[in-house]
């Protein structure tokens, strides 16, 4: 009896989660004003801090972003970790038919994204009808209950999110991405590789792990031992030192997607989308993957 009751509680929790924390443009804009949130300014490198200290948002578009925008024109699309909505705004600009769900862990980012959209409408850069093309969803891609609120999509973009996950969470995230795509839908991912200047002390350790055959050679429980400190080390870096971190590479990323039913169309290292003496290493700073959900049904392990 207890087990049955516990199961019903889990179902109820999923039901509540699936139908909460999804905002219309008007709701998100109202919440932005109520919380006195403001549009963030970008630095010289085109980046700005996130409010939850989970990396930075970028106004410069990388290889996977541009491919996502090209494919997603006029389609139903989802962005995971979309923060302040830079990609969303461009998607709305290029098509009045695109339906966009902007998702992020921190609802404050979504509210500011709505404010950015309002500003673009006021500037006549976008038409007022653009507001009807968007929904804002606070959700965790690793949570089986929360992804139910996100719907099904033709394309999904995930930008610089995976490095905040553990290997187990990454496996869940990729399973969930498969479930969120329509047949023949595509996922576009930009992830951080180990080849970053400010973390170059980790590269030797990473390459040693690769040679020893570790499944996730880029995973570390703390970056503190692999970073060069100086007086200009930015908060963006120091705020992430004590949490787990997952650098990815072509082999690792390709395997996890193929093992979860995807057909990999492209997977490769690409350079940074912005100039940075702090981060630029050798042109392999990002690893991107573009993968497709086959139209034929596949036996993919379900989410827990």
Q: Report the CATH number at residue 129.
A: 3.40.50.150
In a domain, 267, yes or no: yes
Q: How many domains does the chain have?
A: 1
Q: Rg for the chain (alpha carbons), in Å?
A: 19
What is the average pLDDT across 201-225? 92
Q: Spell out the long-range contacts of 164-168 with Cβ–Cβ below 8 A and sequence spacing 24 or more.
A: 164/54, 164/55, 164/243, 164/244, 164/245, 164/246, 165/244, 165/246, 166/219, 166/244, 166/246, 167/215, 167/216, 167/219, 167/246
Tell me the sheet residues that pair with 104: 138
Averaged pLDDT for residues 252-281: 90
CB 268 within 8 A of CB 285: no
Indicate whether 75 belongs to any domain.
Answer: yes
Query: pLDDT tens digit string along 58-98?
Result: 667 889 999 999 999 999 999 999 999 999 999 999 999 99
- Looking at the domain assignment, is residue 304 inside a domain? no
Q: How far apart are CA 65 and CA 58, in angstroms?
A: 11
Predicted TM-score of the model (pTM): 0.86
Q: Two tokens at 248?
A: 């990815």
Residue 243 within a domain: yes
Burial class (CB in 10 A: 0-12, 13-18, 19+), 173: buried
Give me the residue label for tokens 């490095």.
Answer: 163
Cα 125 from Cα 304, distance rounded (Å): 43
pLDDT in tens, 149-177: 999 999 999 999 999 999 999 999 999 99
Is 301 inside a domain boundary? no
Tell whether 242 is covered by a domain: yes
SS3 186: strand
Flag whether 208 is in a domain. yes
More confident residue, 229 or 99: 99
Looking at the DSSP bridge assignments, the partners of residue 225 are: none
- 1-34 pLDDT, tens digit per residue, is 544 444 344 434 443 333 448 999 999 999 999 9
Q: Looking at residue 164, what DSSP letter applies?
A: G
Where on the phi/psi map is residue 19: left (φ > 0), alpha (ψ -120 to 50), or beta?
Answer: alpha
Q: Which residues contact residue 44 at a Cβ distance below 8 angstroms, ignoring those fewer than 6 apart?
A: none
Domain span holding position 279: 2-293
Torsions phi, psi of 293, nearest 5?
A: -90, 115
CB 289 within 8 A of CB 266: yes
> Which of the four pLDDT bands, split at 50, 70 and 90, describes residue 39?
confident
Q: How confident is the model at residue 50 (pLDDT cuts 50, 70, 90)?
A: confident
Residue 298 lies in a domain: no
Res 232 pLDDT > 70 = no
pLDDT band for position 114 (50/70/90)?
very high
pLDDT at 130 over 70: yes
């Amino acid at each position: 009896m207890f087990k049955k009751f516990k199961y019903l509680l889990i179902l109820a929790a999923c039901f509540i989660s699936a139908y909460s924390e999804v905002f219309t443009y008007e709701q998100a804009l109202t919440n932005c004003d109520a919380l006195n949130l403001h549009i963030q300014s970008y630095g010289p490198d085109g980046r700005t801090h996130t409010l939850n200290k989970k990396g930075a948002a970028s106004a410069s578009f990388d290889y996977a972003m541009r491919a996502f925008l090209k494919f997603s024109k006029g389609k139903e699309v989802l962005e995971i970790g979309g923060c302040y909505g830079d990609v969303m705004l461009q998607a709305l600009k290029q098509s009045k038919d695109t339906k966009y769900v902007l998702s992020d862990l921190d609802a404050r980012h979504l509210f500011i994204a709505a404010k950015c959209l309002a500003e673009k409408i006021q500037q006549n850069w976008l038409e007022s009808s653009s507001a009807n093309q968007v929904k804002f969803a606070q959700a965790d891609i690793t949570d089986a209950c929360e992804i139910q609120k996100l719907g099904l999509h033709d394309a999904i973009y995930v930008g610089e999110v995976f490095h905040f996950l553990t290997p187990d969470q990454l496996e869940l995230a990729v399973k969930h991405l498969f479930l969120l795509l329509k047949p023949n839908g595509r996922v576009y991912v930009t992830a951080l590789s180990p080849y970053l200047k400010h973390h170059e002390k980790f590269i030797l350790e990473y390459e040693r792990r690769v040679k020893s055959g570790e499944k996730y050679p880029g995973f570390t429980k703390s970056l503190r031992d692999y970073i060069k400190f100086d007086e200009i080390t930015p908060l963006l870096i120091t705020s992430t030192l004590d949490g787990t971190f997952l650098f990815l590479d072509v082999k690792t990323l390709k395997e996890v997607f193929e093992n979860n039913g995807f057909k990999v169309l492209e997977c490769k290292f690409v350079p940074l989308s912005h100039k940075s003496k702090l981060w630029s290493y050798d042109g392999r700073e990002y690893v991107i993957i573009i993968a497709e959900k086959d139209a034929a049904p596949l036996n993919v392990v379900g989410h827990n």
